[in-house]
Amino acid sequence: MQTENNATFARIDEAAALAHEAQAFYGAASRAVRSALLRGLADALERDAAQLVAIADEETSLGAARLNGELARTAFQLRGFAERVEAGIANRHVDDAAVPGAPPAGRPHLTRVQLPLGPVAMFSASNFPFAFSVLGGDTASALAAGCTVIVKPHPGHPELSRRVHALAERVLREQGLPEGVIAFVDQASREAAVYLVGHADVAAVAFTGSYQGGVALWRAANARRRPIPFYGELGSINPLVVLPHALADGVDTPAATLAASITMGCGQFCTSPGVIVVRDDADGERFAHALAQALSAQKPHAMLTAAMRHGFESAAAHIASQAGVSVRLAAPAHDEEAAAPAPRLFETDAQTFIANAALHEEMFGPAALIVKVRDEAQTLDVLGAVEGSLTVTLWGAQADTPANRALATAAQRIAGRVLFGGVPTGVAVCDAQQHGGPWPASTQPHTTSVGYAAIERFLRPVALQDAPQWAIAATSGTATA
């Protein structure tokens, strides 16, 4: 094992050196150079789409329809970042002209500029083999910021990762860019992952994955002699609150909508609704029954890896074993022998949920926990027990009432995105998006890993005082390079 790690460490050293060497050129490259790279990568993905989707489906079982859509999203966001680069989002200047006199009324000439952090270690996700992988949003936003990238692929889709990186290498060669702009570290152990995070040439880390793995790497990033930013998405239970008004027209349609969201991608979405808060009354009971029925009719596909399937079975069994939890929808006999897991649905009351931290843990798979509440006050208490979440969904809170305002305030306190309709699965790529939240949803709740604001993670502000024009112009991204 030590020999294997030493060989991997050497590959990391080589990739990091390439990224470090390329950073000097790429960090100073013009907007035209960066946007051309992003567009070229999008074009290349689409040219090789049929072959890449076939490989991805073989490795992940996500299906051609889902994977074609995800590849299209990946190309879309690459081009979207190219457009923002061209518009100067990475080269914004804030200029305060000099004012004669002594401070505080007087001041020197100050120009606030943004500079790329440097090489970013990007840890690919398991559940989005295109959109959160080699050329996914983290890579795209880092490249848009002027940062080189060191890709650490996910072991759930190794061949796809190699093919996509080979595609990226081809684009770099065609555009005359250094190969270290998108460096690559093939399959690596946990020790090697920690080594990568601690490497002196790495300036920031982008991570999407499990809480345990993310926390280990976050600690490594902060244990360095010179700590670096760690942008980690670690997991989320995404509460969905069903208010009485949401059931005024019946329970079947909302139950079917929610069941489809819970099982989308076999529940392997970071925004999958895992906690369903509903009133402990007749309508709430009818909804819970309808949800169990709708879930039982769902036919999820196989999970991404055997390890994830095992993790899901363990998590579901752990929830089921907790005192005060009942099983609304159990797995059929011998379900663990089936290729795909059956959906699960559990139920508890508000007091039990609030008191038992084990019930606040994510079940990464097609399962959810219903929490029955008496009234608005208990709903607020349940949300207050959730430490942090990527999303909170509020069904039936359209009216402007004191109760709904209080509920919206509570949701905004714990989540990065609050929905007043629809389901949380499916995250739009746009300027207003926020995909992050308080710990443990993410390590940096003021940042997003989806949408064009993601570029801000990899930029560092610098104030230039009484600077000559050439120094200011050098940060504008308009020079030919």
DSSP string for residues in 205-267: EEEES-HHHHHHHHHHHHHSSS---EEEE-----EEEE-GGGGTT-SHHHHHHHHHHHHGGGG
Please check whether residue 373 is in contact with residue 279, taking contact to mean a CB–CB distance below 8 angstroms: yes
Handedness of CA 188, 145, 169, 199 (dihedral sign): negative
Residue 433 has a pLDDT of 97
Q: Are residues 128 and 253 in the same domain?
A: no
Position 335 pLDDT exceeds 90: no
Dist CA 311 CA 301 (whole Å): 16
Q: Are residues 182 and 257 in the same domain?
A: no
Q: What is the pLDDT of residues 421-442, one digit of tens each?
A: 999 998 999 999 999 999 999 9
Q: Are residues 194 and 243 in the same domain?
A: no
Percent of the chain at pLDDT exceeding 90? 92
Residue 187 has a pLDDT of 74
Q: What is the pLDDT of residues 20-32, one digit of tens each?
A: 999 999 999 999 9
Question: In CATH, what number is assigned to the domain containing residue 275?
Answer: 3.40.309.10
Question: Is 446 contained in some domain?
Answer: yes
Residue 1 has a pLDDT of 53
Question: Of 89, 83, 90, 87, whose CA–CA distance to 39 is shortest?
Answer: 83
Q: Are residues 393 and 459 in the same domain?
A: no
Q: How many domains does the chain have?
A: 2
Half-sphere exposure for 397 (CA within 13 Å, toward CB): 25
**Using 50, 70 and 90 to split pLDDT, how confident is the model at 480?**
low
Which residue's entry shows tokens 């996700």? 125
Mean pLDDT for 468-472 is 95
Mean pLDDT for 149-178 is 97
Position 168 pLDDT exceeds 80: yes
Residues sharing a CB contact under 8 Å with residue 23, sequence separation 6 or more, in sequence order = 116, 118, 119, 147, 148, 180
Residue 465 has a pLDDT of 97
Mean pLDDT for 248-253 is 97
Q: Are residues 335 and 455 in the same domain?
A: no
Q: Does residue 104 have a cis bond before it (omega within 30 degrees)?
A: yes
Q: Are residues 343 and 250 in the same domain?
A: yes
Residue 478 has a pLDDT of 84
Please check whether residue 121 is in contact with residue 435, taking contact to mean a CB–CB distance below 8 angstroms: no
Dist CA 110 CA 114 (whole Å): 13
Q: Are residues 215 and 297 in the same domain?
A: no
Half-sphere exposure for 436 (CA within 13 Å, toward CB): 20
Residue 333 has a pLDDT of 80
Q: Are residues 247 and 346 in the same domain?
A: yes
Question: Is 431 contained in some domain?
Answer: no
Residue 77 has a pLDDT of 97
Q: Are residues 274 and 355 in the same domain?
A: yes
Residue 448 has a pLDDT of 97
Q: What is the pLDDT of residues 289-303, one digit of tens each?
A: 999 999 999 999 999
Please check whether residue 221 is in contact with residue 206, taking contact to mean a CB–CB distance below 8 angstroms: no
Question: Is 433 contained in some domain?
Answer: no
Residue 471 has a pLDDT of 95
Which has more confidence, 48 or 189? 48
Dist CA 407 CA 27 (whole Å): 45
Q: What is the pLDDT of residues 65-123, one digit of tens each?
A: 999 999 999 999 999 999 999 999 999 999 999 999 998 999 999 999 999 999 999 99
Question: Of 424, 442, 441, 272, whose CA–CA distance to 363 is shortest?
Answer: 272
What residues are annotated to the active site? 233, 270
Q: Are residues 200 and 246 in the same domain?
A: no
Question: In CATH, what number is assigned to the domain containing residue 219?
Answer: 3.40.605.10
Please check whether residue 311 is in contact with residue 367, taking contact to mean a CB–CB distance below 8 angstroms: no
Question: Is 430 contained in some domain?
Answer: no
Position 270 pLDDT exceeds 90: yes
Residue 334 has a pLDDT of 76
Question: Is 274 contained in some domain?
Answer: yes
Q: Are residues 318 and 337 in the same domain?
A: yes
Residue 3 has a pLDDT of 65
Residues sharing a CB contact under 8 Å with residue 86, sequence separation 6 or more, in sequence order = 31, 32, 35
Lowest mean pLDDT among 194-198, 271-275, 309-313, 333-337: 333-337
Burial class (CB in 10 A: 0-12, 13-18, 19+), 465: exposed
Domain limits for position 217: 2-234+442-473
Mean pLDDT for 5-31 is 95
Q: Are residues 273 and 388 in the same domain?
A: yes
Mean pLDDT for 456-481 is 91
Mean pLDDT for 195-210 is 96
Question: Is 180 contained in some domain?
Answer: yes
Position 389 pLDDT exceeds 70: yes
Please check whether residue 319 is in contact with residue 369, taking contact to mean a CB–CB distance below 8 angstroms: yes
Residues sharing a CB contact under 8 Å with residue 367, sequence separation 6 or more, in sequence order = 262, 267, 274, 312, 315, 316, 319, 343, 344, 345, 346
Question: Is 41 contained in some domain?
Answer: yes
Question: Is 47 contained in some domain?
Answer: yes
Residue 337 has a pLDDT of 76
Position 2 pLDDT exceeds 70: no
Mean pLDDT for 359-387 is 97
Mean pLDDT for 54-70 is 95
Q: What pairing do the DSSP bridges indicate for beta strands 459-465 and 110-116? A: antiparallel
